[in-house]
């Protein structure tokens, strides 16, 4: 069943082009974005949506955080993202105009399901599930649904579920932008072309595995690591830190790079590798000055740049160039080397990659 792969996690990382292609099949033939992909009545519900509240746990929560950047900047819709176990127990202000989006690979996560029921009890009945399991408990509870087609995910660490969730959230963003007249035909075309091209773009990133493996050898001996990103790549830094912790047991933390000076810079020395997500976007210059601050304290930098980011390699500054800059969808590509990095760090450490200690694939108890 594993074929050429050593672990399910590795197999699932390499299945991402296919998983994305399947999930985005409805736009493959040149079709435009239709709200129908979220359900028969989705046009009405999305048309009346003034705000979005995304609820999820773990990796699925990180997908929601990326979507917040997309929804506000492209669709012009205010968006909040909450951890399910927090939302369900806090006193919050309900708003019936809000579209509640729950994201879950398994569709069985106890906290996410309970948070969804909580939102409904508060009178929020515009609900959408983005889920990888069509018959799951969460999908049965929502008015609208989008089933990602990642296929079964067996490795405990979520990989292909995450990137397909991002694809679904990109479609949601574009559907809302279109309904709100914020998407020109040209822009729609550009985004759709980029989405269709994603499987190819991901395949090219996967070819970087040998270089990433070498990086992993270098810092598998470290006790700690710091992940930095800005804007829509901050959640990707969070996801990179989560992956590294859960399968290699290396303590990792993530920060929005602009927060460095407000505390975590005190941790940086030559024993603290710093991993930076550094695409050539509007925040690159800001990020570069954050990276200089790290270098000045002796921190070794591992930078995931892309085709357009001009960051010179130097002593203690390792750069890996992603093949192309991918604009809005760049988070989908940038998470892939981080998945590979934690996978290979775990291999070096000899941990049980597919079944990390203390963790379960589906968290059905709170
Ligand atoms: C991390 C991971 C978990 C899950 C979380 C939510 O790699 O797999 O953090 O993302 O338990 O699970 P789902 O998406 O099934 O609700």
Which of the listed residues 59, 166, 357 should we mutate to test ligand 1's pocket, taking the one with most ligand atoms within 8 A of CB?
59
**Whole-model pTM?**
0.97
Instruction: Quote the tokens at residue 39.
Output: 């359900």
Q: Is the CB of 57 under 6 A from ligand 1?
A: yes
Interatomic CA distance for residues 71 and 55, integer angstroms: 15
**Gap from CA of 236 to ligand 1 centroid (Å):** 15
Closest atom of ligand 1 to 58 CA is 9
Confidence (pLDDT) at 236: 98
Closest atom of ligand 1 to 165 CA is 14
Confidence (pLDDT) at 311: 86
Reply yes or no on whether 355 is catalytic.
no
**Gap from CA of 161 to ligand 1 centroid (Å):** 9
Confidence (pLDDT) at 105: 98
Per DSSP (E only), the strands in the chain are 51-56, 79-83, 98-104, 127-131, 144-147, 224-229, 251-256, 274-278, 301-305, 317-321
pLDDT tens across 72-91, in order?
Answer: 999 999 999 999 999 999 99
Q: Is the CB of 85 under 6 A from ligand 1?
A: no
Residues 6+ apart with CB under 8 A from 9: 155, 157, 159, 247, 339, 343, 353, 354
**Gap from CA of 60 to ligand 1 centroid (Å):** 6
φ and ψ at residue 204, rounded to 5 degrees: -65, -35
pLDDT at 30 over 80: no
Half-sphere exposure at residue 169, Cβ-oriented, CA atoms within 13 angstroms: 35
ipTM: 0.99
Closest atom of ligand 1 to 106 CA is 15
Report the largest interatomic distance among the alpha carbons of the chain, rounded to a whole angstrom: 57
pLDDT tens across 297-314, in order?
Answer: 888 999 999 988 888 888
Q: Pick the catalytic residue: 120, 245, 288, 361?
A: 361
pLDDT tens across 153-208, in order?
Answer: 999 999 999 999 999 999 999 999 999 999 999 999 999 999 999 999 999 999 99
**Gap from CA of 109 to ligand 1 centroid (Å):** 8
Report the share of the chain in percent with pLDDT over 70: 100
């Amino acid at each position: 069943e594993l074929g050429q792969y050593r672990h399910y996690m590795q197999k699932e990382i390499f299945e991402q082009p296919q998983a994305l292609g399947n999930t985005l099949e409805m736009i493959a033939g040149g079709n435009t974005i239709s709200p129908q992909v979220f359900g028969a009545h989705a046009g009405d519900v999305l048309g009346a949506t003034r705000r979005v509240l995304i609820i999820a746990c773990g990796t699925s929560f990180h997908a929601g955080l990326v979507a917040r950047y997309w929804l506000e900047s492209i669709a012009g819709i205010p968006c909040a993202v909450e951890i399910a176990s927090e939302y369900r127990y806090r006193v919050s202000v309900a708003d019936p105009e809000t579209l509640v989006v729950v994201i879950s690979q398994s569709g069985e996560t106890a906290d996410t399901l309970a948070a969804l029921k909580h939102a409904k009890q508060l009178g929020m009945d515009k609900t959408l599930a983005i889920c990888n399991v069509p018959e799951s408990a969460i999908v049965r509870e929502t008015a609208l649904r989008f089933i990602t087609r990642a296929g079964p995910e067996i490795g405990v660490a979520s990989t292909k579920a995450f990137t397909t969730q991002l694809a679904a959230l990109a479609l949601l963003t574009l559907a809302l932008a279109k309904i709100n007249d914020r998407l020109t035909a040209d822009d729609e075309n550009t985004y759709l072309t980029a989405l269709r091209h994603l499987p190819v773009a991901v395949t090219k990133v996967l070819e970087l595995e040998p270089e990433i493996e070498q990086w992993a050898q270098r810092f598998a001996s470290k006790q700690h690591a710091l992940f930095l990103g800005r804007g829509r790549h901050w959640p990707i830094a969070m996801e990179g830190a989560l992956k590294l912790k859960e399968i290699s047991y290396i303590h990792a933390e993530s920060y929005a790079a602009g927060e460095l000076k407000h505390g975590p810079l005190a941790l940086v020395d030559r024993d603290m590798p710093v991993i930076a997500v550094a695409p050539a976007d509007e925040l690159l210059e800001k990020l570069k000055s954050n990276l200089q601050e790290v270098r000045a304290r002796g921190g070794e930098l591992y930078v995931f740049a892309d085709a357009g980011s001009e960051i010179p390699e130097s002593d203690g500054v390792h750069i890996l160039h992603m093949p192309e800059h991918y604009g809005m969808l760049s988070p989908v590509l940038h998470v892939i080397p981080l998945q590979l990095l934690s996978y290979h760090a775990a291999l070096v450490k000899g941990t049980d990659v597919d079944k990390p200690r203390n963790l379960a694939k589906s968290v059905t108890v709170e």
